[in-house]
Amino acid sequence: MNSRKIIHVDCDCFYAAIEMRDDPSLASKPLAVGGLADRRGVIATCNYEARSYGVRSAMASGQALKLCPDLLIVKPRMEAYRAVSREIQAIFRDYTELIEPLSLDEAYLDVSDSQHFAGSATRIAQDIRRRVSQELHITVSAGVAPNKFLAKIASDWKKPNGLFVITPDQVEEFVAALPVSKLHGVGKVTADKLGRLGIRTCSDLRAWSKLALVKEFGSFGERLWGLSYGIDERLVRNDSRRQSVSVENTFDKDLPDLAACLEQLPALLAQLETRMALLDPTYRPDKPFVKIKFHDFSQTTLEQAGARRDLDSYKRLLSAAFARGNKAVRLLGVGVRLYDLRVKHEQLELFAP
């Protein structure tokens, strides 16, 4: 682990930052990018002025306006955002070819073998932040660490427009004090369960054996054990391609029946469309699917080739999936499989005469 140098770069309120850059009159005003409230729109992102009112990504625009009546909501300009993303990626490539984009506005960089700044990951991150600011007039936050898990946490540590570094000899102390709610994959429900078990920090997690955690949390228990010691062996993969995109919600109270599940679909689909907009154009949406986890933790996933991605199609899928268990539901998810257009292009080149 000590030999790896990973940087996680995350743009600060990316869409909103571009809107404020391109229209300076919007700066310092509460601003969101998303759909209109009268059309059941959803907030894609917002600036920090809006966040101070409690406005958040994936929030219904109507709810956001109740929290912040002066909120300005502008429609997304995806082509503009993609163009800026490509410029940021070009800056990254000046330092390393090992780049794993997570979306338009964030990426992992492995600079372990980079010769820039005598191999200093911290100075590379500083220079990336400087160039993005000077050349593109937006800000990014960055985290530097020996692995992806810690680099991502570090990039959020001093947001916005910050840099945080976790050196190998700081990992032990830093992770020990880390709240378990910060761990990748720990949502509200898991965090609440950990809390009931008296586990609030990674130091608390370390008091449990790997076997005990597996008994409580299944296969995720092993992951929890590793993260509590700052262990993450995942590589930065510049050739990784998504197989699907999805959103899901674990409810504080179980949904009692199919009707209650169907009521949740519009909001979930609005969040899904927001995530779909972040994909690069080398993907094409394919089969829609739904995921249900019932109150007893049994789960099922159902997809259908040739189905449309509209509300009625997802209602039919959800109804059929619910019938497999016909009991209260704790988690609902919706998504779509992706067709990789890049693979098709590469195959045509390979077999072309």
CB atoms within 10 A of CB 308: 11
Short-list 73, 136, 96, CA closest to 4: 96
**Annotated catalytic residue 106:** yes
Task: Identify whether 160 is preceded by a cis peptide bond (ω within 30 of 0).
Answer: yes
Predicted confidence (pLDDT) per residue in 191-219, tens digit = 999 999 999 999 999 999 999 999 998 88
Ranges of the chain whose pLDDT falls below 50:
1-2, 344-353
- What pLDDT does residue 35 have? 85
- What pLDDT does residue 343 have? 55
- What pLDDT does residue 347 have? 41
Catalytic residue among 106, 135, 172, 173: 106
Residues belonging to the binding site for Mg(2+) are 10, 105
Domain boundary assignment for the chain:
6-13+79-168, 15-76, 172-228, 244-345
- The three-state secondary structure class of 33 is strand
- Choose which CATH entry (3.10.105.10, 3.10.28.10, 3.30.1490.100, 3.20.20.80) describes domain 244-345: 3.30.1490.100
- Choose which CATH entry (3.30.470.20, 3.30.470.10, 3.40.250.10, 3.30.70.270) describes domain 6-13+79-168: 3.30.70.270
Predicted confidence (pLDDT) per residue in 233-285, tens digit = 999 988 666 788 899 888 888 999 999 999 999 999 998 988 888 777 788 88
**Domain 15-76 CATH class label:** alpha beta
**Domain 172-228 CATH class label:** mainly alpha
Residues belonging to the binding site are 10, 105
- What pLDDT does residue 351 have? 40
Instruction: Kindly write down the DSSP assignment for every residue of 37-102, as one continuous string.
Output: GGGT-BEEEE-HHHHTTT--TT-BHHHHHHH-TT-EEE---HHHHHHHHHHHHHHHHTT-S-EEEE
